[in-house]
Amino acid sequence: MADPAIAIVGAGPAGIRAAEALSRHGLSAILVDEAPKGGGQIYRQPPDSFQGPASSRYGFEARKASALHLTIKRLATAIDYRPSTLAWNVCDGRLDTLCAGRGESVVFDILVIATGAMDRMLPLPGWTLPGVYALGGAQIALKYQGCAIGQNTVFLGTGPLLYLVAYQYAKAGAKIEAVLDVNPAHAKRRALFALASSPRTLAKGIYYRASLGTHGIAVEEGVTPMGIAGTDEVREVHYRRGSVDKSVRCDAVGLGFGLKSETQLADLVGCRFRFDGESRQWLPERNSDGESTVSGVYLAGDGAGIGGADAAELWGERVGLSIAARCGRRHDASRIAKIDRRLARLARFRAGLERAFPLPLLGSTLPDDTILCRCESIRVGQVKDAIRAFDVVEMNRMKAISRVGMGRCQGRMCGHAAAELLAAETRQDLAAVGRLRGQPPIKPLPMPWPGTP
Amino acid sequence: MKPSPLAQHSTDEAAQPRMVRLIDAERARLTFSLDGAPATAREGDTILTAVLTARRYLAESAGGEGTRAGFCLMGACQECWVAVDGTRARACSALVTAGMSVATGGHFTVG
């Protein structure tokens, strides 16, 4: 029997390690990735003209980043690697892709979805002002372009990335006005036991936090963000701590509340989803081999639930080994057992992070004039009116009536807050309002401009 | 929320571009066209970096409320589409090249 056609979407830590494990067992995959170079968002490689050492971009993770970059460089000549290629649809055993304006279909028997994650975003008054960036975006500006997002930056939100990015900005010489964490210090103390399951990662987190102090950067925990003020761009962040109203002047804000899985392709291919109460998001189900509820479709890395880059590499290899065994190659039981033990330990650490940096319930308490949908500038009050006028109780109905989630980002930015708002307005659990269905194309496709050849 | 008393531009701040080059800043220069006027960028800049190291915003919002300057910088939010040499490009993903013509105005960004 001929080997099956294997396609992998995403050349981050998970996708690259999956391709490598398959290659080790004599199986070649088609690896499709939207970026021009492999590494994913976490280990994103800068354009060729950047000369600085890996340590200036990836810090303590430079060794892992370089190892991954070396792997994809080596694989690129051995497998069918397609960078700068967007997989915009999947159905009937076929991926629809677009590369440099040319569409192509990739037929597969086995698919690995390794689409990674993006910032988990919550709206705030003023979050559409120029100068407000997603926290992960602020980090990409630095590691991919060598730039800070502004002259005077405030980092606002929660999660380990809040402290890491602030540390990286300070180290690069950027001016930071404040680091504002919505979660209190005692939440982190309570999570310490679980976080101690990965002592080195915990130590790095404590180091980042401590070094902000030595740089003289104000860190406030347990704040309630009230909004970002300014007419034509960011001028101030308003927040409350205890019963005290405070503000800090700045011209840029890095805003983020943890990470969220990119699940659109898993949705389109028909994977069953479950509501994960811990991270408060819908995730595609997978078994211990990494296979989804659709036969032959595997999920690796943060696209199936946030686990971090180390877990993504392990899941990628794990999925590669599962597929190799499925294709009649040697079943590497001892390696699989070792990966599973390490994944279990990382899962304990991740649970600790969710406890230390839980997602705040901001989505249901926003003022009516706050823009909820960035794409079409739809306000909270308009959505509430639509919910009441049409007795909306479910997310896709809400989308049809209010257009929230119908814009170009397809709800990536507003989806979570919209669900919280609908749940609060209709007195339902978050899980009960459902989730926005994915639609192809999962990202906009550029069309030739009329009048050009 | 109260309107900010600090809303006016100070002239100093208005003169500075939005993004600040901190690492690997001294790359080779190139020139491109930004809304019809010549502009300078560095080799390896994305279109977004090239525009935001020249001025403080990218384009009018497609939804019609004020200007935007990109948001997610990782190809998810879709706020930074611009017209480039007769087609469209996401400014955070596409690299600027010498002689490229970038248009950020009006209907080009409405999608």
SS3 at position A55: helix
The tens digit of pLDDT for each residue in A68-107 reads 999 999 999 999 999 999 999 999 999 999 998 899 999 9
Burial class (CB in 10 A: 0-12, 13-18, 19+), A257: buried
Q: Which of residues 112-151 of A touch B (CB under 8 A)?
A: 118-119, 125-126, 128-134, 136-138, 140-142, 144-151
The CATH class of A6-118+260-329 is alpha beta
Q: What is d(CA B1, CA A237) in angstroms, rounded to the nearest whole number?
A: 11
For the ranges A207-221, A357-371, A372-386, the lowest mean pLDDT is seen at: A357-371
Which residues in chain A are contacts of B2 at CB distance < 8 A? Answer: 229, 238
Segment A8-12 shows an average pLDDT of 98
Q: Are strands A175-181 and A219-221 parallel, antiparallel or unpaired?
A: parallel
Q: Which residue in chain B has the smallest CA separation from A46?
A: B44
- Closest among B9, B110, B90 to B55, alpha carbons compared: B9
Q: Which of residues 281-320 of A touch B (CB under 8 A)?
A: none
The pLDDT of residue B12: 44
Confidence of residue B4 (pLDDT cuts 50, 70, 90): very low
The size of the A-B interface in CB pairs under 8 A is 198
Which residues in chain A are contacts of B72 at CB distance < 8 A? Answer: 118-119, 133-134, 136-137, 412-413
First and final C-alpha spacing in chain A: 46
Which amino acid, residue A289?
Answer: D
Number of helical (H) and strand (E) elements in chain B, helices listed first: 2, 8
The CATH class of B28-105 is alpha beta
The full set of domain ranges for chain B reads: 28-105
Confidence of residue B8 (pLDDT cuts 50, 70, 90): very low
* pLDDT above 90: residue A452: no
Which residues in chain B are contacts of A449 at CB distance < 8 A? Answer: 83, 86-88, 108
* pLDDT above 80: residue B73: yes
The tens digit of pLDDT for each residue in A247-288 reads 999 999 999 999 999 999 999 999 999 999 988 999 999 999
The tens digit of pLDDT for each residue in A150-160 reads 999 999 999 99
Mutate to test the interface with A, among B11, B13, B16, B24 (most CBs of A within 10 A): B24
- Closest among B50, B47, B58, B62 to B92, alpha carbons compared: B47
Contact A256/B at CB under 8 A: no
Nearest 5 degrees, angle CA B99-CA B102-CA B108?
150
ipTM exceeding 0.90?
Answer: yes
Confidence of residue A128 (pLDDT cuts 50, 70, 90): very high
Burial class (CB in 10 A: 0-12, 13-18, 19+), A415: buried
Q: What is d(CA A337, CA A341) in angstroms, rounded to the nearest whole number?
A: 6
Q: Do A140 and B111 touch (CB under 8 A)?
A: no
Those residues whose C-beta lies under 8 Å from the C-beta of residue A113, and which sit 6 or more positions away, are A9, A10, A265, A266, A269, A284, A292, A297, A298, A299, A300, A303, A304
Which residues of chain A form CATH 3.50.50.60?
6-118+260-329, 121-257
Q: Which of A136, A151, A444 sits opposite B20 (nearest CB)?
A: A151
Those residues whose C-beta lies under 8 Å from the C-beta of residue A74, and which sit 6 or more positions away, are none
Partners of residue A271 on adjacent β-strands: none
Q: Do A446 and B87 touch (CB under 8 A)?
A: yes
H runs (alpha helix) in A50-191: 54-58, 62-76, 135-145, 160-172, 185-190
The third-level CATH classification (topology) of the domain covering A371-433 is Arc Repressor Mutant, subunit A (1.10.10)
Q: Are strands A378-379 and A371-373 parallel, antiparallel or unpaired?
A: antiparallel
Average pLDDT, chain A: 95
Nearest 5 degrees, angle CA A419-CA A416-CA A400?
55
Place of tokens 């999660």: A159
Q: Do B81 and A142 touch (CB under 8 A)?
A: no
Which residues in chain B are contacts of A174 at CB distance < 8 A? Answer: 20, 22
Q: Which long-range contacts (CB under 8 A, 24 or more apart) does B33-38 make?
A: B33/B99, B33/B100, B33/B101, B33/B102, B34/B102, B34/B104, B35/B102, B35/B103, B35/B104, B35/B105, B36/B103
Q: Do B18 and A150 touch (CB under 8 A)?
A: yes
Tokens of A5: 């056609």
The yes or no reply on domain A121-257 and CATH 3.50.50.60 is yes
The tens digit of pLDDT for each residue in A381-399 reads 999 999 999 999 999 999 9
Q: Are strands A252-257 and A152-158 parallel, antiparallel or unpaired?
A: parallel
Which residues in chain A are contacts of B25 at CB distance < 8 A? Answer: 146
Q: Which residue in chain A has the smallest CA separation from B69?
A: A130
Which residues in chain A are contacts of B69 at CB distance < 8 A? Answer: 130-131, 233
- The more confident residue out of A401 and A1 is A401
Q: Do B19 and A137 touch (CB under 8 A)?
A: no
Confidence of residue A345 (pLDDT cuts 50, 70, 90): very high
Q: What is d(CA A60, CA A164) in angstroms, rounded to the nearest whole number?
A: 11
* pLDDT above 90: residue B65: no
- Closest among A198, A337, A175 to A250, alpha carbons compared: A175
- The model's pTM is 0.94
Contact A231/B at CB under 8 A: yes
